Structure 1
Amino acid sequence: MKLSRCFLAGLACIIMTTQTSLAAMQDQGTNGKVEWGVVRQFQITSSPVDIAHSLDGKYAFVLTKNSEVLIYDIKGALLGTIPVNKGVTSIALDPLGQFLHLSDSENDKFYTLAIDFVVDINTVDAPFKGKKDAPVTVAVFSDFQ
């Protein structure tokens, strides 16, 4: 009788372990001297292949199996999509966040893309001089000398 109880207890442990491994990722946990907790998660349209993020944590770049790079902001909003060759297998962002590097193992190529973000500026009720519909150019100087 004791043997069958041990067998049933062992079988229950195996079933529980299998069910746990099939479940979604745990939100937090501890193992040895490591603790983890999910800070944010994004629902993406295709399986991820590689990921890169800006050093300031504002942007995440996700290379997918659909041969595209999805760009998310810190809140999880999709900002844009960049189509890439099917051979692209890894991505990396330069330290300043200005260039996205792609390695294409199928075509033996390495690409560097310049990354810029379009920002809408609300000018409603702002004072202006000249024609209301005149073209405007904005120059940004970031060298702060």
Structure 2
Amino acid sequence: MHKLKQKNYLWLFIFFLSLFVSQNVYGKADLTLIRQKNLDVQPLDVASSEDASMIFILSLGELIIYSSKNDQIIDRSALDKTYDKITYSEKNKTLILTSKASKSLKIIHVEQVYDISLSELPFKGPFDAPVTLAVFDDYQ
């Protein structure tokens, strides 16, 4: 009986000791490559929209806007070469560029423009008119 009691105390001691000497256990992460794109410039900083549909790449003297939906660069704009940091505000749809060297800040409003093809829509009047009105006269 005495040995059984000693054995129980030993297990209790080992249990409490394990609480103090426990090790951190890290889980694994499964990484899956979604897309890889080679750039013709060296990126200084990167920002993206909240849904990652637009990725803004700041390089030396240039701002590149990449569309992840279309997998292509949709715009390039020249900038002052002193800008070295970029952030994007989804709420205001603004890019915020900062420069350590010139101690300056530039705020740019971003509005995505979509091309709408009017080639197969019904219209009345000359084809090359400066204004096209779509007429929906086939409703019953």
Residue in 1 aligned with 2:89?
94
1:57 deviates by 1.4
Q: Equivalent of 2:78, from 64, 83, 93?
A: 83
Q: Equivalent of 2:130, from 128, 134, 143?
A: 134
- Within 2, Cα distance between the matches of 1:136 and 1:117? 22
Larger Rg: 2
Normalized per residue, the structure richer in strand is 1
**CA separation of 1:33/1:125 partners in 2, compared to 1, >3 Å: closer, same or farther?**
closer
Q: Is the 8 A contact 1:63 1:90 kept in 2?
A: yes
Using the size of structure 1 for normalisation, the TM-score is 0.63
The answer to whether 1:105 aligns with 2:100 is yes
Residue in 1 aligned with 2:63?
69
Residue in 2 aligned with 1:36?
31
1:130 deviates by 5.3
Shift >6 Å, 4+ stretches:
none
- Within 2, Cα distance between the matches of 1:69 and 1:58? 16
Identity %: 24
1:103 deviates by 0.3
Between Structure 1 and Structure 2, how many residues are aligned?
Answer: 106
Give the 3-state SS of the residue equivalent to 1:88 in structure 2: coil
Residue in 2 aligned with 1:49?
44
Q: Which amino acid in the other structure matches residue 57 of structure 1?
A: A
- Within 1, Cα distance between the matches of 2:73 and 2:30? 29
Unaligned runs of 5+ residues in structure 2 are 1-25, 134-140
Unaligned runs of 5+ residues in structure 1 are 1-30, 138-145
